[in-house]
Amino acid sequence: MSIQFKIGFWISFVLLLSSCGVTHQVAVQTIEPAKVDLSSGIRRIGIINESIVKEFDQETGELEAWVRYSDQNISEAAKKAALAGLFNELTQDTRFDSILILHQEGSLQLEDQKFDQGIPWKRMEQLCKKYEVDALFALAFHETDTKISLRKTKMEKRNLLRERIQTKGHEITLETLIENGWRIYDPFDKQILDEITLKNQLVSKAKGEDPLLAFQAIEDRRDSLLSYSEKTGSNFGSRLQPHRQTISRPYFIKGSENLQKAYEMALAEDWQSAAALWKLDIAHTKPKIRSRAYYNLAVINEVHGDLQSALQLANKSNEVYESKMSEEYLVALSDRIKYQQQVEDQFLQ
C-alpha cells in the first residue's frame, strides 16, 4: 500500500467520522449568581487590615537578609494595594451607600492574639458603631515566602574600551509565593459571611557578577507584587457580583432534510431562517424528528435569552420523544432559571 493511498485513506476516514455527528454546538451566554450573597441590610462597608507581621529567624546569610528586607519593605505597600483593589471593586457596586478604608485603625490584631485568630466580635461591633458601618471586609493575612536559587553562569559586560566581553557571573531566581486571606464579618449577627485565600507565584530572574549584584539587578519585582496584591483585593470584591460565562449547547443537524438545511443557515448565523425550517419539522411524521425540532427551537430561544419559552419547548421535545439528551437539557434549563432568579433576588432587592 503506497504512502499516498494511506494518507488518502486516513483523510477520508477522518472526514467520515466528522460527518457522522448528529449535533453541532452553539455558544450561549449565561450569568451565574454571586458567590457571596449579602443581606440587603448591609449598605455601609468598612475595610480593615487585620493582618499581623510574622516574626522571622534573624540568623540568615547576607543574600537571604537582603531578600527578606526587600519583602518586608514591600509588604506594607502590598497590603495597601490589596485594600485599594477591594475598595475600587466595591465602589462599582450600586447596592452600597458608603465604603470606608479604615487606615487610621492600623493593624487591628491584638498583640497577644494568635496569628490565625480573628478580631474579637465585641471589638468589631464597637468599630462598626464608631464608623457607622454594617459589615467589615478584612484583609485577614498577607504573606510572602521567597525561595532563592543561584547558579553560576556567563554574562556580558563592557570593558574599558566599551567592548562587550564574556565574564563569569551568577544568575539568581526568586520564586515568591504570595498569599492573601480575606474575610467578611457581620459583627452584629456574629457571622463570617465569606472567607477565602488567594495564592499566586511570582518568578523573578537576573544576572550579576556576584549574587548580591544579581539580586539588585532584578527589575519590576516590586511593581509586580503590588499589582498582584491589588488584583487579589479586586478579585475578592468581585465575589459579590454575578459572573458571566460562555457555555456550549448541542443542537440537531441531521435526521431530516429541513434539519440539514437549517444547519447551513445556522452556520451563517441566519437563525431566523433556521428556526422557520425547524418549525416545519414540528409536523413531521416521525416523533424523533418532531422532538429534535422542538429541541432546536428551545436552544435558539435560550440563545436569545427567553428561558421560559425555551423550557416549554424543551418539555414538549421530551414529551414527544424521551431521550437522555432532552432530559439533561431540561435539568440545565431549570438550573439556569433558578440562577436567574437568584441574581434578581441579589440585585433587585
Using DSSP's 3-state secondary structure scheme, residue 294 falls into: helix
Residue 3 has pLDDT above 50, yes or no: no
Q: What pLDDT band is residue 348 in, cutting at 50, 70 and 90?
A: low
Q: Which helix (H) or strand (E) element contains residue 335?
A: helix 324-347
Q: How many CB atoms lie within 10 A of CB 239?
A: 15
Task: Please state, in angstroms and rounded to a whole number, the distance separating the CA atoms of residues 258 and 255.
Answer: 8
Q: HEC states along 118-142?
A: CCCHHHHHHHHHHHCCCEEEEEEEE
Do 32 and 339 form a contact (C-beta atoms < 8 A)? yes
Q: What pLDDT band is residue 314 in, cutting at 50, 70 and 90?
A: very high
Task: Please state, in angstroms and rounded to a whole number, the distance separating the CA atoms of residues 116 and 55.
Answer: 14
Average pLDDT over residues 100-117: 59
Q: What pLDDT band is residue 189 in, cutting at 50, 70 and 90?
A: very high
Dihedral pair phi/psi, residue 214, rounded to 5°: -65, -45
Model pTM score: 0.75
Q: Which domains does the chain have, with CATH numbers?
A: 44-148+176-243 (3.40.50), 250-347 (1.25.40)
Task: Please state, in angstroms and rounded to a whole number, the distance separating the CA atoms of residues 142 and 203.
Answer: 18
Per-residue pLDDT at 18 = 38
Residue 275 has pLDDT above 70, yes or no: yes
Dihedral pair phi/psi, residue 154, rounded to 5°: -105, 145
Task: Please state, in angstroms and rounded to a whole number, the distance separating the CA atoms of residues 60 and 245.
Answer: 48
Residue 164 has pLDDT above 90, yes or no: no
Task: Please state, in angstroms and rounded to a whole number, the distance separating the CA atoms of residues 244 and 253.
Answer: 28
- The conformation of residue 55, written as its DSSP 8-state character, comes to P
Task: Please state, in angstroms and rounded to a whole number, the distance separating the CA atoms of residues 32 and 244.
Answer: 6
Place of cell 454575578: 242
Higher pLDDT, 75 or 108: 75
